[in-house]
Amino acid sequence: MHSRLKMIYLILLLLLVGQISCAHEPYASVHLTGTLYCNESIYQHEKVEVWEKNYIMADSWATTVITDENGYFEMKATVRDDYFPPKPYFYMINWCKEKQWWNDKETGDKLVCSEPLKVFIPEEYVTPGREAKKTFDFTQVNLAMVETQFAGLEIVLQTVLSQKGECRRILKKDRTDLWDN
């Protein structure tokens, strides 16, 4: 009797998951614009992206653009999720918040590392289908003041499931933090 009840619950759960996966449009589109700053400096020539949050598999990349000389970006993307309503997000490495850095004593180069910044697009700016109808404008964002957002299991397992940071080498000739000797 107890196992029969478990079987009924399992069947109901599978039917519910089937309804969820069939009850939504698998495509969603976004149009994003904005100008990025790092404190008082323009955040120019840096990569910004749109990704789609997947709750079962790895997140899916949608598009990449580079900010211009004024820190401005504009991008459109269409994302797809067959099982859950699509949840697109803005993604970039936030070089404004360096987490670690090392000086190479032999070359004078500096290695800097930073963490990713993830901001979910508000639902009212996510259009079901393949054509964005609204524009989410970040206007002027100071990256020194923004924190990343997490969803799904990332909330609990941030270090395991979230995207990792990046490191880059700054050559001695390009460093602005050195004193003249």
On whether residue 4 sits in a domain, the answer given is: no
User: Rounded to an integer, what distance in angstroms lies between the CA atom of residue 76 and that of residue 83?
Assistant: 22
Amino acid letter, residue 37: Y
Domain coverage including residue 54: 25-174
On whether residue 16 sits in a domain, the answer given is: no
> pLDDT tens across 45-79, in order?
999 999 999 877 888 999 999 999 999 999 999 99
User: Rounded to an integer, what distance in angstroms lies between the CA atom of residue 127 and that of residue 29?
Assistant: 5
Query: What pTM was estimated for this model as a whole?
Result: 0.71
On whether residue 9 sits in a domain, the answer given is: no
Q: Specify whether the CB–CB gap between 50 and 69 falls below 8 A.
A: no
Q: How far apart, in Å, do the first and last CA atoms of the chain sit?
A: 84
> pLDDT tens across 31-47, in order?
999 999 888 889 999 99
pLDDT given at position 17? 56
CATH number at residue 116: 2.60.40.3330
On whether residue 180 sits in a domain, the answer given is: no
Q: Specify whether the CB–CB gap between 62 and 75 falls below 8 A.
A: no
**Mean pLDDT for the chain overall:** 80
User: Rounded to an integer, what distance in angstroms lies between the CA atom of residue 129 and that of residue 29?
Assistant: 6
On whether residue 5 sits in a domain, the answer given is: no
- Count helices and strands (H / E) in the chain: 2, 10
User: Structure tokens of 39?
Assistant: 């404190």
Q: Which of 84, 88, 81 is nearest to 20 (CA)?
A: 84
On whether residue 120 sits in a domain, the answer given is: yes
Query: How many independent structural domains does the chain possess?
Result: 1
Contacts of residue 64, defined as CB under 8 A and 6 or more positions apart, other chains included, come to 47, 48, 49
On whether residue 124 sits in a domain, the answer given is: yes
What Å distances lie between residue 163 and 41, 48, 67, 93, 166, CA to CA? 26, 14, 21, 10, 10
The count of C-alpha atoms lying within 13 angstroms of the C-alpha of 109, restricted to the half-sphere facing its C-beta, is 9
Looking up tokens 């070359």, which residue turns up? 107
On whether residue 181 sits in a domain, the answer given is: no
What is the signed CA dihedral for 135, 141, 143, 145, rounded to 10 degrees?
A: -120
pLDDT band at 180 (very low <50, low <70, confident <90, very high): very low
